[in-house]
Structure formats: structure tokens, C-alpha cells
Structure 1
């Protein structure tokens, strides 16, 4: 069984919608709403069709396909520059230090400050793998193929990239962080606010959210305890991001308090180590395991395979990968060690 990641098409709407219904909430980039998902696919089609290699306000949607059956079993997204249609809000953890000479006491207060520091960054997000396929490293293929896509289209992406991880969601589908912070001002449940944001954007946050910093000590224990923590299902994703060179620098999601990871784009491991080679042959039987990608924009495809760099600087790949990528001798591919 072979899987390949490819550019999403408008006729992928139904399988993406079915996966969106399985997320359990908190996935702003993958709302279970046909109209919103259709708008994403339309926007992605325009991004794939844009011919000039410049930084714009693009969104790319990729899907994981079983090459034997044609079934779509996963998806991920890339945003070239966030905060262009509406502000990109985050909370940032900061510390205020105050000292009293009379009491000879120093007090350090932790604050949550509403910021738009990350505006203009690229973003990798919207990653979801069907529960029936969570084996065989397919999550890693989805995640790291995004960086190959960035390396292959580098001029279309910013110099800094972020990834938001879903925060802690309780058994009722609510968010302790939302209930303890923003929910007090909006009169909306987390599920209502998260869904509204996914469909309409977060301008309502700018309209109603208090602009003054929030003292963490004044929050209840439930809200304080989840700040900057990923959902249990996202711990592996956080580890993968750290392995790529992403770091948590105190930015958290304004809805669920989950961590936002950031990195310099050219220092992301899979971007830095990606290499382009021309294929010499497609009959390799033993070689280094790798993620291999081919094509540009809407012809982009990536898959697991084996590679071997020849003394001439060309590449030998295995037949299965070549078939999944639809490439042959003379074609150019990009690859990174698995």
C-alpha cells in the first residue's frame, strides 16, 4: 500500500469534510462546514494557479491519497503570510517585575498580553490524519512534506514560520482556558467561538477582547494549569516540530491556550537539508529511506521512497516511489532523509 501527498482539488471537498467531522473541535483550519471548506479549496486553487514566485497571501491545501484506491486519508495546509485579511492575534506570556524598598520585597507577576507579533509569518497547519491510518509514519510524511513544499517554492514563503498546536480540551468539548479568560467577556462557549472564528475570522476578538494584560494569578486553577500545553493528541506533533527546529517562545492561542511554535524558515531542518537532483534511474532496490517530492504547485507530489546519490550527482530511486510520484529518468525531484 502506497500513499502520496498531492495538491488538493475542489472535488476533494467531501472526503475533507468527512475528516473534519472527526477532529473533535479545536481545529480552526479544518472546520466541519462544507461552505468554509469549499472556500478554502477555492482559495487554494487560486494559490496553485498563481504563476509569479513572490510572497503573497496564499493558502495551499494538500491531501494524502491512497494511490491504489484513490481514497483521501489525510490533509494539511500552508499559509504564506498570516494576518493579511484580518489581524493574527496571540497571547504572549510576559513577566512584570516590581520592587518595594519599604517592604524589601520583589514581586514578579506573569501576564498574558494580546499581541499581533506573528503577523506576516508563514504558517503550517490544518494537519489531520484519518484515525484508520495512524500507523506507518504517515503523520510524519504529512508534516515534513510541507517543508519540502516550502523549500521547492521558497520565494512564496516568509522568513519566519509558525505552527499552532491545539490546546487542552475537556471531555465536554470545552476549553478550560477559554472559560477562564475570554469566555468571561464574550458570553459564548468555546465550541461556539471556535466555530465562529473558523467560519468568519477573529475580528470579533479585536472588537470585544479587553486590550489590557491579564494577570495569570487572577485566573482559576483550571485555566492556569493548561496555558502553553498541547492537547494529548498533539504531543507527538510538538516533538516533531521541535525536531525540525521550532521552539515555544511564550505565544499561546487566544482560544484554547495551546502553544504556538516558531522557527526561522531557512533554519527548519527539512528545509535546510532538502536537495534537488535529477533522476538517473528508477530501479533502486536498497538505499537510504527518504521523503521524495516532485512537481511544482498543483503538480506537487511527495511520498516515502529510497534514494541513492550517484557519483555523478544524479539520483537513483526505487520503482514504487517513482510510480507514486509519476516521475522517470531525467525528471527533477527534491528529497530529505526520513
Structure 2
């Protein structure tokens, strides 16, 4: 079975192995064992309520329980930019006009901003290529939203997701090669690694303090502003279906878009339900390897995400499964109940997948 759960110390090596497949540009998942170990420990300390708001962050893993192996990872930063500046470029307009010459020009500019300070961030989303099947991508991304819905008081009112920017057929970032490189005099992967390992002081020291005029940039740069990495297109579409929108903020390194929304208006958070559970042995188990598995027409079941609502790091679990709803009860297969560690009297939080 495939489950989502909080990351723990034994997962460090598996997460490190996953980081080898990102292809660069996933700043929050560097191939650095100490950084990943520190990230796991920070997540555990967040669960135990040891950290101030400025340092809180939750790291989750997807585990294939048949192999006892981590195959995906995702995270939530509770409030960004409170301990060190959180930078983005705001894409804005600047007007140049002269009545004497009858000239009126509206120019696009990039302005360094800290507009997202204090917002929550959905980040570090990566799924092993071998598991990009069925509903597993939705499980990986949306499980975080179920967690937020269950713990709404822990999070602010706005949430963002910074997405990896466009890279060309040579795995180069046109935005970095034509813009950022001139200010940092470093290779993209080196800057990306420094930022991902928490060494960010250089950003404020080296970033341009004045607006950058988009009209003066090469066409290939203009074309990639706010566009995403090929592998990130499904994640963007999924987040947009949840209600997150591009509000003209982009990543300072690769020009990738930042999507944002009011937390209470995010679809999964708004529509998730708390339900009493029961057992039904006739319900099929979900099989992500089967392309037809999202339909169990024989038993008239629905495909949904189910979380166990436990608040202990050792117990919190989310999975994707078939279920039935009868008389306000959610009926689950015994294997799902076992995987979620459900006990009599526990409620579950569910959201039907569409």
C-alpha cells in the first residue's frame, strides 16, 4: 500500500536518493545529506512544538509499504520570511509619458520584493518517476492540504507555491543564463545549492536594487517568465484546480511562477469532510499500477483521499483508496483501516478525487 506520513530520521537516505533525480532547480531538495537530515529534524521539532513560528516546517514522505521505501516527498513551510528575507520578483508596470512628444509607454519591470513574508508555502514536491501513475501525484500534493484543513489554527490566511522555472532542451534556465548570472557570476546549480542549504545572505548582497526592464531582455527570457519546468506542468495544473493563481510574482533565480490563494478558499481544504468510518470487506483495494483502477463500478465506490486525523508524528497517515458513503459513514477496506492505524471512535478526514 502507498501511504503519506511525516518524515522521520530513518528516511534521510531514501530522500537523499530521491534528490538525485530532480534534475536541478528544486531548491528545497538539494543533494546534501546534512541539509536533508536537518530538514527532517526541523520537521520533527515542529511536530513536538519546540520551534518558534519563523522556523516551523512540516516534511512528509510517500512510502511504498510493500518495499518499506520512500518514493516521494513534499513539505509545508508554516510562515516564510520571518527569520530571513523571502525574495521574489514582482512583475509590474512602469509608465513613461511625455505630453510634449505625445509619447505614452507602458513597460514591464521586475522589482525585488518581500511581498510573501508571513505566508505559508507548499514546497519540496517530488515523486519518483516510477510512481507517477494513477492518483499518486494527487495523493502527494493534496495530502498537505488535508493536513492544513485538520490543523487550520497553525497556519496564516494565505498560502503560496513557488514552482520550478522553465528549462530548455539543454537543461539550461534562460532566465538565469541571461539575467541572474550577470549579478552572481556563478553557475545556476551552485547558487541553487547555496540557497537550498540555507546560505542565503548572498542574495541580498548581490541582487539588483533597481527595477529590471523586461522589454530590454532577450525574447527567450520574456517567453519563460512565469513558465514552469516540463516536469512541473502537472503540479501547476493541480494547484490551479485547487484555486491557486499566478499573481505576478516569480522566482529570482529561474523565473518560475509563485501561485497563491487564501487558505480557506483552497478547494481540498474547503471541501474536506470529517466522517465516522466503518468496515466493508467487499470494497476493492486501489491499485495505482492499473490504468483502469480509478473506477470500481461493481461496488459503486468512490476514489478518495483519507487521513486519520491523528496529531502524533508516529501515527499521522494519509492514503488514496476506494470507499463507500452510506448514511454519513465512510466504509473502508480492512487493509486501509490497518494502514491508517484507525481505532474505534476515531474520525477520518476525506476528500473525494475527481
Q: Does 1:335 align with 2:318?
A: no
- Provide the residue aligned with 1:58 in structure 2: 56
Alignment map for 1:20-99 (pairs within 5 Å): 20-50=19-49, 57-99=55-97
Q: Is the 8 A contact 2:54 2:81 kept in 1?
A: no
- Provide the residue aligned with 1:238 in structure 2: 236
In the superposition, the TM-score normalised over structure 2's length comes to 0.90
Q: Does 1:296 align with 2:323?
A: no
Q: Is the 8 A contact 2:54 2:80 kept in 1?
A: no
Superposed displacement of residue 103, structure 1: 2.3
Moved more, 153-162 or 326-335: 326-335
Q: 1:56 to 1:156 in 2, by over 3 A?
A: farther
In 2, Cα distance between equivalents of 1:55 and 1:270: 24
In 1, Cα distance between equivalents of 2:54 and 2:203: 25
Three-state SS of the structure 1 residue aligned to 2:115 is coil
- The alignment of Structure 1 onto Structure 2 pairs a total of residues equal to 335
Structure 2: gaps of 5 or more residues = 284-298
Q: Does 1:14 align with 2:13?
A: yes
- Provide the residue aligned with 2:200 in structure 1: 202
Superposed displacement of residue 59, structure 1: 1.0
Superposed displacement of residue 282, structure 1: 4.7
Alignment map for 1:247-266 (pairs within 5 Å): 247-266=245-264
In 1, Cα distance between equivalents of 2:106 and 2:282: 61
Q: Is the 8 A contact 1:289 1:337 kept in 2?
A: yes
In 1, Cα distance between equivalents of 2:123 and 2:282: 34
Three-state SS of the structure 2 residue aligned to 1:182 is helix
Three-state SS of the structure 2 residue aligned to 1:191 is helix
In 2, Cα distance between equivalents of 1:64 and 1:154: 22
Superposed displacement of residue 330, structure 1: 2.0
In 2, Cα distance between equivalents of 1:276 and 1:164: 30
In the superposition, the TM-score normalised over structure 1's length comes to 0.94
Q: Is the 8 A contact 2:135 2:320 kept in 1?
A: no
